Amino acid sequence: MDAVVAAPRALVGGAVTGPVAVRIRGGRFVDVTEDHAGATEVLTSGILTPGLVDVQINGAFGVDFADVDPAAMRTVAQSLPSTGVTRFLPTLITAPVPTVLRQAHAVVAASAALPTTGVARPLGLHLEGPFLSPVRHGVHDASVMVPPAPANLDLLLADEIVAAALKIVTMAPELPGGLEAVRRLVDAGVVVSVGHSNATAAQTTEAADAGASMVTHLFNAQSPLTHREPGVPGIALTDPRFTLGLIADLAHVAGPICRLVFAAAGPRVALVTDAVAAAGMPPGRYRLGGADVLLTEAGVPRSPDGTIAGSALTLDRAVRNIVSLGVSEQDALIAATRTPADVIGEKWLGRIAPGAVADLVWWDDDLRPRKVWVDGEVAFDAEVDDYAELATAGN
């Protein structure tokens, strides 16, 4: 029997419309209509959207993807739907290439061991390093950064397991051999994202000419935007070939600048969390790439020297933050669904349309996830979870 979810409003075809009835069969959307007849579930408030897609997440809920096993991956995948995320791209930060390969194998194996229902689904791998600029290292260990020399790329691309999983490589294209590395990775079907880069505007444009199509955490750990040398951000904001990863915790990028980014390049903005193990957790000490980071009451993870170390952001909160700045609900939600799916070539994710994967989020009127479906199956239900918490508290 088909499931039919009816809602007063929904994000369909890049616009908020309604009323809408979405028919699901075999984990896919069959059709989208206004006819509520035969609905198996009728939502009376809020908005229905595609599932959120996070293409840069280093860990969450106490788990660091640099040190993951099947149980830890299951913790993350079971918890992410409560934040509206149905698909995610585990991200590994800078380490020596052999270490990256070992970590990548562990991520792939842990992903394959996940249950078939009730969890958010990993999409592969995002390698944020080690082909980064020591000048813009951020919290990454500059001492183990290496240029994207053919021998280093050989190690990644000759590994069949890693090559099959690899979706994004963040790199600094101005490094020796950088542009050739961009071309080689793109030819291998990998998205190249400019990040942790001291590239000039001209070098950033050359990277786009070579096939780079994304910018990692816009404004952070990259050459600055100035009125005579636009740097990485200036080209990112004006070159339509780039999709812009934006960490909207309002600490990495201030609110007025987030609003400016949406005004300049709204359809090309992909909200990301850059979350670390501290996301979804109380203040305390956590790990990122094997190093300690401290999450204080201020809510921003930092290394022992005070450098921002990823975020404790969840993607639903990123959406709320952007809407609070005056950006439309529609634009904020597209930036967390369709745009990140599109940049990695997942054309059947991040949208409510016939044939697309049936990932859904029902948000309440305060833009908090109330119910989430992955492949047409319920993976999170706030009413059930709230009842379970009350029952546990009463025992």
Residues designated as active site: 274
Helix 201-210 to helix 178-187 angle (10° resolution) is 30
Q: Which two tokens stand for residue 35?
A: 């006819």
Question: What DSSP designation does 266 have?
Answer: G
For residue 235, give Cα distances in angstroms to 134, 136, 203, 230, 245.
21, 17, 10, 6, 14
Q: How far apart are CA 103 and CA 324, in angstroms?
A: 38
For residue 113, give Cα distances in angstroms to 74, 77, 85, 117, 332.
8, 11, 19, 12, 33
List of E strands, 34-109: 41-42, 47-50, 52-57, 59-60, 63-64, 85-93
141: helix, strand or coil: coil
Residue 247 has, within 13 A of its CA and on its CB side, a CA count of 23
- Paired strand residues for 53: 87
CB 301 within 8 A of CB 288: yes
CB 213 within 8 A of CB 240: no
Cβ-based neighbours of 264, under 8 Å, separated by 6 or more: 237, 238
Segment (H or E) for 111:
helix 97-112
Q: How far apart are CA 176 and CA 174, in angstroms?
A: 7
For residue 160, give Cα distances in angstroms to 165, 193, 251, 344.
9, 22, 38, 19
Beta strands across the sheet bearing 20-25: 28-33, 20-25, 3-7, 41-42
